[in-house]
Amino acid sequence: MRTPRGLTASAGLLLSGLLVLTPTVAAAAPGTIGGDRLATHGYVVAEGAPALPRGLVAAGWMVADLDSGDVLAAKNPHGQFAPASTLKTLTAETLIPKLAPTMSIIPTFDDVNVDGSKVGLQQHLRYTAAELFTAMLVVSGNDAANTLATANGGVPKTVEEMNAEAARLHALDTHAANANGLDDPTQLTSPYDLGLIARAAMELPTFRMYVATKHSHIRGPGKSQIAISSHDKLLYNYPGTIGIKNGFTVKARATFVGAATRGGHTLLVVLMRTAPRYWPEAASLLDWGFAATAAGVAPVGKLVDAEPRPETAGEPQAAPVRPAAARLTVASKPSSGAGLPLLPTAVLATGAAVLGGGVLRGRRRRPRRMSLPKL
């Protein structure tokens, strides 16, 4: 476990209802991923930035530009915390490129008999991978996460691949112990790492569609359907929100990763170990981030580029979907395609292209290369 050290900032005055920070410089730890200024347990914010919002309670948080990767401000960005269901962003980011959306999957007894949040999958029923990803990311179904992991060759294999994927992303504060985010003493991540993982996941067009979904359904027993609605409260309360994922356990408290677009900019906010009613805190930090962006505030760090993703069968490396194109309009009646969930035709077309032996064509993004500082 790495214990970040470096720049700290002490809380100063309360002025007009806003928290004013007075930075104090400590000895930095050279080689911190994302920049030496992120080596702190405290606040890091640029000089001359707007005052941070009042009432921030998260033990660790970060605001960053999703497109450029610029970190605008943070608190304890490399602090390690239990992730709860925000870990499912890593599960999805690992498995979406491997499992075609139309792949047929049957849950096992162990998959559906799991603790915590469940969508209500039935043993022996057939589901598409698209249904399972929707259930996992929209209503945080632990049964859906386990079923996807089983379809990938089992939970141990999937966890191993998740940790390898975290290493590819340079998310070095992260260790996965399961696929669903339930508490485990060894399962940890940080605000910075969740930002890296979410940024990589949002480059996958189907991930963007899943996490922007407010309402959908999956099949139930017999010919019934189970209606599902997103647990991401920011989707309903903050204009411009495009997803991503919330979580909660007794150990982790509330955790959250969200993204929103305004004025041509898309910002990412991460909260760890915060209050259960997390969305007002997330909204206030996004408001601050958009104000800081408009004011031209200098970044305090960077979400580093990942190593190139290997080509796999599920979803080829396509250019990221623009936020406007990622908004999901749920159909008013079920699809006639073998009980597929109510998902955009783009998702189904992706699976059809893969299963038909074709390759989804998209503008390739040149692999982003970087020189990592020595840790």
Tens digit of pLDDT for each residue in 127-169? 999 999 999 999 999 999 999 999 999 999 999 999 999 999 9
Q: Is 176 exposed, middle or buried (0-12, 13-18, 19+ CB in 10 A)?
A: buried
Tell me how far CA of residue 144 lies from CA of 159, 174, 207, 286, in angstroms.
Answer: 15, 22, 15, 30
Q: Residues 276-308: pLDDT tens digits?
A: 999 999 999 999 999 999 999 999 999 999 999
Residue of 57, 1, 349, 304 whose CA lies nearest to 170? 304
pLDDT band for position 31 (50/70/90)? Answer: confident
Residue 353 lies in a domain: yes
| pLDDT score, position 312 | 52
Q: How many CA atoms lie within 13 A of 12 on its CB side?
A: 13
On whether residue 259 sits in a domain, the answer given is: yes
Cα–Cα distance measured from residue 175 to residue 196, given in angstroms and rounded to the nearest whole number: 14
Mean pLDDT of the chain: 81
One-letter amino acid identity for 83?
P
Could you tell me if residue 116 is inside a domain? yes
Among 269, 89, 114, residue whose Cα is nearest residue 176: 89
CB atoms within 10 A of CB 296: 7
Judge whether residue 16 has pLDDT over 50.
no
**CB atoms < 10 A from the CB of 27, how many?**
10
Residue 61 Cα distances to 13, 64, 81, 276, 372, angstroms: 20, 10, 11, 15, 23
Residue 71 lies in a domain: yes
201-216 pLDDT, tens per residue?
Answer: 999 999 999 999 999 9
| pLDDT tens, residue by residue, 314-346 | 454 333 333 333 333 333 333 333 333 344 333
AA identity, residue 124: H
Is residue 33 predicted with pLDDT exceeding 80? yes
SS3 content of the chain, % helix, strand, coil (to 5): 30, 20, 50
Q: 30-39, 61-70, 251-260, 311-320 — which is least confidently predicted? A: 311-320
Domain contains 17: no
pLDDT at 223: 86
User: CB-based contacts of 225: which residues, under 8 Å, 6+ apart?
Assistant: 217, 218, 219, 334
Residue 222 is predicted with a pLDDT of: 86
| Number of other residues whose CB lies within 10 A of the CB of residue 324 | 8
Q: Which domain holds residue 219?
A: 56-375
Positive or negative: CA dihedral 30, 33, 36, 41: negative
pLDDT at 219 over 50: yes
Q: Tally the domains of the chain.
A: 1
Residues designated as active site: 85, 88, 140
CA distances from 140 to 92, 124, 180, 201, 210 (A): 11, 21, 8, 16, 12
- Greatest Cα pair distance, the chain, in angstroms, is 64
Q: Give the per-residue pLDDT at 368.
A: 40
**pLDDT above 50: residue 106:** yes
Q: How confident is the model at residue 359 (pLDDT cuts 50, 70, 90)?
A: very low
CA distances from 95 to 89, 153, 165, 345 (A): 10, 11, 10, 20
**What's 156's domain CATH number?**
3.40.710.10
Task: Read off the amino acid at residue 106.
Answer: I
Between CA 252 and CA 91 the distance in angstroms is 18
**Within-domain flag for 311:** yes
Residue 14 pLDDT: 28
Q: Give domain status of residue 51, yes or no.
A: no
Cα(51)–Cα(16) distance, rounded to whole angstroms? 10
Query: Quick one: pLDDT at residue 340?
Result: 34
Which DSSP string do the residues of 213-232 spell out, in sequence order?
A: -SEEEEE-STT-EEEEE---
Contact 191, 74 (CB under 8 A): yes
Domain membership of residue 220 (yes or no) is yes
What interhelical angle do 88-95 and 155-168 show, nearest 10?
90
pTM, 2 dp: 0.78
| Listed residue (293, 302, 258) closest to 68, CA to CA | 302
Q: How confident is the model at residue 309 (pLDDT cuts 50, 70, 90)?
A: confident
Q: How many CA atoms lie within 13 A of 16 on its CB side?
A: 3
* Average pLDDT of the residues in 107-126: 95
Whole-number Å distance between alpha carbons of 291 and 53: 11
Percent of the chain residues topping a pLDDT of 70: 75
* 85 DSSP assignment: G
Amino acid letter, residue 24? T
Tokens of 20: 């004013």
